[in-house]
Structure 1
């Protein structure tokens, strides 16, 4: 969550003399209810993604390594943000002490940056897999995916240090003396500069990368679609599904994060203006949308896919390594490499191709194992 402006109204304005006398009874019930739903859905979905990839070796593909990192960042973002944001709308003051004030807001910024940067990296990986399936084999390795994920976290940890430095407890006279956790920047220019930086890192740059990758992917898929528009209906429908998913992911990210960034930028520029009640409620809804993105991501990227659903069924039904035939004999369970965008190896590659993990196969077999999305 961008941190130049804090969730609570007093922190949103930054000036207790300009606060509006807004009733807090409704928000004390509405905000925790909305955020609780997002929290439960997001924690469940992201935990399932991590569990499935960790349990099933066939799911440990390059793309899934990035998806697991996205699930970890989304999970951290929800755990660090949602409970304390709900508490801000419910409690009259910050009651968790200055150490947690600094730590919680620092972790919020780290997780938000890591989430958005991971989305950008995942878009680049998808671009390489679809547009350059064979040429990208030497780059799309699990080791490189791990290094990229670690670098994403390291950059987020370092770039969020100003938050840990400048967040502190501040007392305001708002219907009595109250304590709030908010940033105290050295100057207005510092606050505006850091907010602009935050918007660039957590929205503008990832959105540009995702949109560019989306455009290249859609153009590539559309060209293949036009070349084979008289091909099998299943291939045509498959192409349309992939295009819809790629475009939908970018639109979802843009819609969920845009309102919060717009409000934060507006408040940073017009820092001495009063905050109308409509903007206050819009801020609550904007935070809800940004949290919702982290809750929806696991379903968009993974849990709605066929291979993830198969693994979910295995966790509840197929606990043994052998499958029993109707005549009572046991047949060893065949091991198939499955994952997002992959099919059985004995099915020929058609239409859209994704490169499999290069580090699991010999170079002369890599082209043979390029399979359909």
Structure 2
């Protein structure tokens, strides 16, 4: 069994290390684009995309603590540090999720009413609300985070809540971090789909750009669902007593954990690096093939993705 645990820990560490490296590079590239090109900071959607990248980067910064705890089966810091860690983990997840919702709302507003897009003041207000709501939601969910000792004294774990509150916390997190955001994103995607269906007189260029934006919203919702739903299914199985120690369940746990950590890497690729609006700047940053300064191709709001 110890040998099996060591192999599992090594595979888990290597996988998380790769995810951490990719996530850092992708999000740092996003920050670099925003820092170098002032036009991006003035775009409405880019403010919300920056919010998402910031939240994802915070999540990535916490992975080393998770990795050390998972591999060594110990939480080396104090109980207070455990509470801070669990709060920051929930806070960064909420900020990323609600930023994704804000992007879908702003995207729907821009596409369905291009002559009256949301003002920059409204977008900044959405940015502030995303982080304020994330803080207010995460604090009560992690107020009972605790460091507990395992079967032996050398095994310590940093748990998100005490055992007697586990079901309430998991259910609340499922509703607040998954179900409600998915409903908001689905609602905005339905608005976009209905708009496209009712707008046959759009020019070919506008229709192509709008469909591309709609596809991005759909892909974002699908990616979010794929990355986080298995983890909630696993939590439900644990609560119902269906989880048993064995290779199949360990593989399921491993897959759920990797998918959750993969989400902060997918967001910058999906929203920024695959967008033709940012591609010239990203290509120049990565390849250095053009010595001249490269400016991203800022186009109309109908090409915001």
Q: What TM-score, normalized to structure 1? A: 0.72
Following TM superposition, by how much is the alpha carbon of 1:238 offset from its aligned partner in structure 2, in angstroms? 4.4
Distance 1:28 1:301 in 2: 32
Give the corresponding residue for 2:59. Answer: 77
- Asked if 1:288 corresponds to 2:258, the answer is yes
Aligned residues: 300
Give the corresponding residue for 2:144. Answer: 166
SS where residue 306 of structure 1 aligns? coil
**Structure 1 residues 55 and 62: alpha-carbon distance in aligned structure 2, compared to 1, 3 A threshold:** same
Structure (1 or 2) with the larger CA radius of gyration: 1
- Asked if 1:43 corresponds to 2:24, the answer is yes
Higher helix share: 2
Cα displacement string for residues 321-355 of structure 1 (whole angstroms, at most 9, x for unaligned residues)? 9xxxxxxxxxxxxxx9944xx25xxxxxxxxx63x
**Structure 1 residues 68 and 320: alpha-carbon distance in aligned structure 2, compared to 1, 3 A threshold:** closer
SS where residue 95 of structure 1 aligns? coil
Distance 1:166 1:74 in 2: 24
Distance 2:159 2:291 in 1: 51
Following TM superposition, by how much is the alpha carbon of 1:313 offset from its aligned partner in structure 2, in angstroms? 4.7
Distance 1:132 1:262 in 2: 38
Contact 1:116–1:202 under 8 Å retained in 2: yes
- Among residues 55, 61, 80, which one is paired with 2:36 in the alignment? 55
Cα displacement string for residues 69-101 of structure 1 (whole angstroms, at most 9, x for unaligned residues)? 000011111212x21222223113222332321
**Structure 1 residues 320 and 109: alpha-carbon distance in aligned structure 2, compared to 1, 3 A threshold:** closer
Distance 2:31 2:293 in 1: 22
Give the corresponding residue for 2:166. Answer: 191
Give the corresponding residue for 1:64. Answer: 46
Distance 2:160 2:111 in 1: 44
Higher relative contact order (CA 8 A, sep 6+): 1
Contact 2:52–2:96 under 8 Å retained in 1: yes
- Asked if 1:219 corresponds to 2:194, the answer is yes
Contact 1:117–1:201 under 8 Å retained in 2: no
- Asked if 1:247 corresponds to 2:229, the answer is no
Q: What TM-score, normalized to structure 2? A: 0.87
Distance 1:372 1:299 in 2: 15
Give the corresponding residue for 1:100. Answer: 81
Contact 1:221–1:243 under 8 Å retained in 2: no
Distance 1:109 1:56 in 2: 31
Contact 2:45–2:304 under 8 Å retained in 1: no
Give the corresponding residue for 1:156. Answer: 134
Distance 2:64 2:304 in 1: 42
SS where residue 159 of structure 2 aligns? strand
Following TM superposition, by how much is the alpha carbon of 1:235 offset from its aligned partner in structure 2, in angstroms? 6.0
Distance 1:320 1:275 in 2: 57
Please list every run of 5 or more consecutive structure 2 residues that lacks an aligned counterpart in the other structure: none
- Among residues 257, 261, 282, which one is paired with 2:228 in the alignment? 257
Distance 1:183 1:244 in 2: 35
- Among residues 23, 41, 55, which one is paired with 2:4 in the alignment? 23
Contact 2:277–2:296 under 8 Å retained in 1: no
**Structure 1 residues 295 and 30: alpha-carbon distance in aligned structure 2, compared to 1, 3 A threshold:** same
Give the corresponding residue for 1:206. Answer: 181
SS where residue 181 of structure 1 aligns? strand
Structure 1 runs of 4+ with >4 Å offset? 234-240, 313-316, 318-321
**Structure 1 residues 158 and 29: alpha-carbon distance in aligned structure 2, compared to 1, 3 A threshold:** same
SS where residue 23 of structure 1 aligns? helix
**Structure 1 residues 275 and 122: alpha-carbon distance in aligned structure 2, compared to 1, 3 A threshold:** same
